[in-house]
Amino acid sequence: MTTQILDAASNGIIAVDADGKVVFANSAAGDLMNRDAAAMAGVNVERLFVFGGGHLNAGRPLPLLAQIRGGPYYLEREAHLARSDGESFEAVYTVAPFRAGREIVGYVITFRDVTERRRAEAELRLAGAVFEYSPDGLIVADANGRVTKSNPAYRRVTNLEEAEIVGQPLGAVLNHGAQGGDGALPIEENGEDAQWEQWCKSKTGRRYAARISLSAVRDADGVVQQYIAIVSDVTQRKLDEEKIIYQANYDQLTGLPNRTLFMDRLTRRVLEGKRAKTSVGLMFIDLDGFKAINDTMGHDAGDLLLKSTARRLEKSVREADTVARLGGDEFTVIMPLIDNFEAAAVVAQRIIKSLTEPFDLAGREGRISASIGISLLPAQATTASQLLHNADVAMYFAKRQGKANYQLYRPDLEDTVQVQERAL
């Protein structure tokens, strides 16, 4: 019965006599050593317990007898052991004496394979180190979406203390300081992982861009056990992207939309006008006298004049209008929902009046005027390119009329402008 009980144990059990020879080994001991348990009887225990591959003393016996005789009477150790086939495993073993009266007549060695436990512990330590030292912010929440912990990187970005984070709803934490954040978790909407970017503010008011990856950890049945969020500070990347977009779409000198953005907005306005059956007006503005100021007073004065012109144009147009600089001293104004030429003329008059006022060019006075061409959709054009062409033609005609005036496009101006241009 005793032997059957010992054979049923999951731990390896080996009994040795006072000289270290095996007198009994259970089935689990045989399995762990990859040996026949019965054949282990009579073998010196140190031939069985051998350091495994990868250990400094690989192939050499463990000093079990020395450990036993050196005391204490009960000991517990860990070792990297070898099986008979050369494979290795991590083991924890204990040695305890058994007596006949007061005399120690042998020892019982119990041992078990802890390889998987050690591997799991190592993975946990690694995961803990990754969590603590990750350059990205990490947040863990329970199945109810309540934060259970955050790492130092996240706290550095947000300037929040752990006590201000733990126990809070994950959505509220992720949206802390976010523009328009409502605290909802996108992952809850469709059950899938989610990624998004948003601008946030730290506790100290620093504005930063966050890239957030949110995942749900589920069990085998698909039930959510935890949420894990990775928060990366992508501020510099976003600033670089915004700079590139700005440089591609805005005039570097005046800050107005450039030709690229102007054509995009004009095209969209034309399409909207066609769908809604509403009108769109376009002004093409050329500065009279700019070249003379640029040549006589220098490029710095010319640049200052262009920047001041941009500001005066913005103040002269309607709130819905778009002022753009096409290049040089050429500007445009997109006018959605302009009812007729008379309404456009009111804006043109304000522009001419504003630009004829003297400019302060770093202590020197500069004077210019403006020639303006006006084209309307759908009355005179059906496409954005037609609208621009017609306004350009009308502007050239305005210049021929003595400058500082505005003209509405007419088809007969095409030949007039072309003849005049060829004659120059």
Query: CA-to-CA distance for 89 and 53, rounded, in angstroms?
Result: 9
Residues in the chain: 424
329 among known catalytic residues:
yes
Q: Which of 303, 329, 392, 412 is catalytic?
A: 329
Give the containing element (helix H, strand E) for 125. helix 115-133
| Structure letter (DSSP) for residue 260 | H
Provide the β-strand partners of residue 147. Answer: 141
Q: Considering only CA atoms, which of 408, 289, 256 is closest in space to residue 356?
A: 289
What is the greatest pairwise CA distance in the chain? 132
Question: What is the helix (H) or strand (E) element at residue 294, kind and residue range?
Answer: helix 290-297
- Other beta carbons less than 10 A from residue 287's beta carbon: 21
424 burial level (CB within 10 Å; 0-12, 13-18, 19+): exposed
Q: Torsions phi, psi of 415, nearest 5?
A: -65, -40
Neighbours of 51 (CB within 10 A): 18
Contacts with 209 (C-beta within 8 Å, 6 or more apart), sequence order: 197, 198, 199, 200, 233, 234, 235, 237, 238, 239
Write out the catalytic residue numbers: 329
